[in-house]
């Protein structure tokens, strides 16, 4: 997994383009920046197996930091930019990071770290900023000035590092997901998705990365795309119209999205959607959260049968893939395994028959551990060594996997198991609904009752009358027991940038 050969063959080709700023980083520049920073890491005493935390928004330096860490044998931990200083400090401390690379946009968070870290700040502190800025952080070295004297050539002892990703923490504190390093030079280690990218894309492809790079998929996908020699257009912040503008401006051919982005683009006025030329698109792919069937059908009607889908997790314990063409004959499926086998088990670990939902286990996937949490690691395995992250789904007679929900999202009302994803998926297809969350709240009679919270396209529609109308509309389409008994409204649902809901915030508020 390397960018070096492209830096040598096509040094002036853009490796990354920041949108809407238009800042371009060529392959030659990216290679030189990564090498200089790798030298800096070595001179600072960082060695194979050490960890560097990244606290930056999507900017022109992000990929250079990841590439530098990767070729220095380091674990790199991109941290969610929305976290408070205390929340970010937990990850820095839990990962035992020996260095932090931050930026101007996260200055307040960086300044607050010292008071929150029980062992104090690590010794290696780098602050990425514009050269013209007068911003200073006491004790931090300004980047890129601090590496200006370092060689642009590779370090002598290059060795492969890896991403140390933390879970989104939607049900508790984030957990670090760690894999054993390969202990090999980068040239001998293929990218985890290198083969998929090489088959999926063609020469002169342009890839759009619309999500924050601190998430697993955007960081892994964009690095594999760069390693294959393709240009990555990085949205500095996702905006539905901005994504369409980037596709049209740069002739984007490929991209990786999440379903919430599809919904937001579809909710744009038709005059806005049709004003951008998206004919350059060849294939796009989505993941991170289940996509409502009707939303995906509308996207295929708009963009054509080019929308592929994969199911995976930060743990990388297994994955499935389905093409747009196969999805049209198996709507709602996330496909078949790309490696190994899928097993659907009940709570006792017994394999369930086709069509019956249970916990999804992968056999033959990549091994992982939850950092500093052997108990959680052990619970992710069954007696065969098959691995799970707690998702619920079922297999059809053709071997296609369908996701039902997360195990911890299940509602038990009157002894009946209810998976709220079904109602959520239906609600977002209503033309007046932008987003929806369905969850269980305490009920003296039933144990739990089904509650809905909705974000409307037009805030003026957030009324009790519309709530009653939505419940009636939903009851015409789903079994009544699956439908919310009441609906409340929020101006914005607490959703991550990759589309996952922080349902605990809503449960706490409405319980």
314 contacts 217 by C-beta, under 8 angstroms: no
Q: What is the pLDDT of residues 395-438, one digit of tens each?
A: 999 999 998 877 677 787 877 778 788 899 899 999 999 999 99
Among the listed residues 313, 263, 256, the one whose alpha carbon sits nearest the alpha carbon of residue 293 = 263
Q: What is the pLDDT of residues 222-281, one digit of tens each?
A: 999 999 999 999 999 999 999 999 999 999 999 999 888 999 999 999 999 999 999 999
Integer Cα distance of 137 and 125 in angstroms: 10
Indicate whether 499 pLDDT > 80: no
User: What is the chain's mean pLDDT, rounded?
Assistant: 92
* Residue 269, token pair as written in the block: 């006025």
Indicate whether 170 pLDDT > 60: no
State residue 340's pLDDT score: 80
| % of the chain beyond a pLDDT of 90 | 73
Confidence band of 495 (pLDDT split at 50, 70, 90)? confident
Indicate whether 40 pLDDT > 70: yes
State residue 510's pLDDT score: 92
Q: Average pLDDT for residues 86-114, to the nearest whole number? A: 95
State residue 256's pLDDT score: 94
Indicate whether 131 pLDDT > 60: no
Q: What is the DSSP string of 313-366?
A: -TT-S--EEE-HHHHHHSTTEEEEESSSEEEEE-TTSPBPPTT--EEEEEES--
State residue 90's pLDDT score: 94
Among the listed residues 507, 451, 437, the one whose alpha carbon sits nearest the alpha carbon of residue 483 = 451
Q: What is the DSSP string of 5-50?
A: HHHHH-TTSEEEEEETT--EEEHHHHHHHHHHHHHHHHHTT--TT-
Q: Model's pTM, two decimal places?
A: 0.85
Determine the topology of domain 27-187 in CATH. Answer: Rossmann fold (3.40.50)
State residue 421's pLDDT score: 84
Integer Cα distance of 368 and 358 in angstroms: 22
CA angle 97, 101, 12 (to 5 degrees): 130
Confidence band of 130 (pLDDT split at 50, 70, 90)? low
State residue 380's pLDDT score: 92
* CATH number of this structure's domain 411-510, picked from the four choices 3.90.180.10, 3.30.300.30, 3.40.50.300, 3.40.50.720: 3.30.300.30
Integer Cα distance of 360 and 128 in angstroms: 42
Integer Cα distance of 62 and 286 in angstroms: 22
Integer Cα distance of 305 and 87 in angstroms: 41
52 contacts 75 by C-beta, under 8 angstroms: yes
State residue 410's pLDDT score: 76
State residue 134's pLDDT score: 59
Listed by start position, the domains of the chain span 27-187, 411-510
State residue 433's pLDDT score: 96
């Amino acid at each position: 997994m390397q960018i070096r050969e492209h830096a040598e063959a096509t040094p002036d080709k853009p490796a990354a383009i920041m949108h809407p700023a238009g800042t371009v980083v060529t392959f030659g520049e990216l290679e030189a920046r990564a090498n200089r920073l790798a030298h800096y890491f070595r001179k600072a005493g960082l060695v194979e197996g050490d960890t560097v935390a990244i606290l930056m928004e999507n900017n022109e330096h992000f990929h250079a930091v990841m590439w530098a860490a990767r070729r220095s044998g380091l674990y790199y931990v991109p941290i969610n930019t929305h976290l408070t200083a205390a929340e970010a400090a937990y990850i820095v401390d839990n990962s035992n990071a020996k260095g932090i690379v931050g930026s101007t946009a996260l200055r307040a968070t960086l300044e607050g770290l010292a008071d929150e870290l029980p062992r104090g700040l690590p010794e290696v502190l780098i602050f990425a900023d514009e050269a013209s800025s007068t911003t200073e952080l006491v004790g931090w070295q300004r980047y890129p000035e601090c590496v200006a004297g370092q060689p642009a050539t590779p370090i002598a002892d290059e060795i492969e590092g890896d991403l140390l990703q933390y879970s989104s923490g939607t049900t508790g504190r984030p957990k670090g997901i760690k894999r054993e390093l390969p202990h090999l030079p980068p040239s001998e280690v293929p990218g985890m998705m290198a083969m998929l990218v090489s088959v999926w894309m063609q020469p002169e492809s342009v890839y759009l990365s619309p999500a924050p790079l601190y998430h697993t998929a955007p960081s892994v996908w964009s690095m594999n795309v760069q390693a294959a020699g393709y240009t990555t257009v990085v949205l500095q912040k996702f905006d539905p119209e901005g994504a369409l503008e980037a596709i049209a401006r740069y002739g984007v051919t490929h991209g990786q999205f999440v379903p919430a982005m599809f919904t937001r683009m579809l909710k744009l006025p038709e005059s806005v959607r049709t004003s951008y030329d998206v004919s350059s698109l060849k294939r796009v792919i989505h993941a991170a959260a289940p996509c409502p069937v009707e939303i995906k059908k509308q996207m295929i009607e708009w963009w054509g049968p080019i929308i592929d889908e994969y199911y995976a997790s930060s743990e990388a314990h297994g994955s499935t893939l389905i093409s747009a063409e196969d999805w049209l004959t198996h709507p709602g499926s996330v496909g078949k395994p790309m490696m190994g086998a899928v097993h659907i088990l009940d709570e006792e670990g017994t394999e369930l028959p086709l069509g019956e939902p249970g916990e999804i286990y992968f056999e033959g996937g990549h091994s992982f551990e939850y950092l500093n949490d052997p108990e959680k690691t052990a619970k992710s395995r069954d007696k065969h060594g098959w691995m799970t992250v707690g998702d619920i789904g079922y297999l059809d007679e053709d071997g296609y996997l369908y996701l039902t929900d997360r195990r911890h999202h299940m509602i038990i009302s009157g002894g009946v198991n209810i998976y709220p994803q079904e109602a959520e998926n239906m609600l977002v297809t209503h033309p007046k609904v932008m987003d929806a969350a369905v969850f269980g709240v305490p009920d003296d009679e039933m144990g739990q009752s089904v509650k809905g919270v909705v974000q409307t396209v037009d805030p003026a529609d957030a009324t009790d009358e519309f709530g009653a109308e939505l419940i009636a509309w939903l009851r015409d389409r789903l079994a009544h027991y699956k439908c919310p008994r009441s609906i409340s409204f929020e101006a914005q649902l607490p959703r991550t940038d990759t589309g996952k809901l922080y349902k605990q915030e809503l449960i706490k508020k409405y319980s």
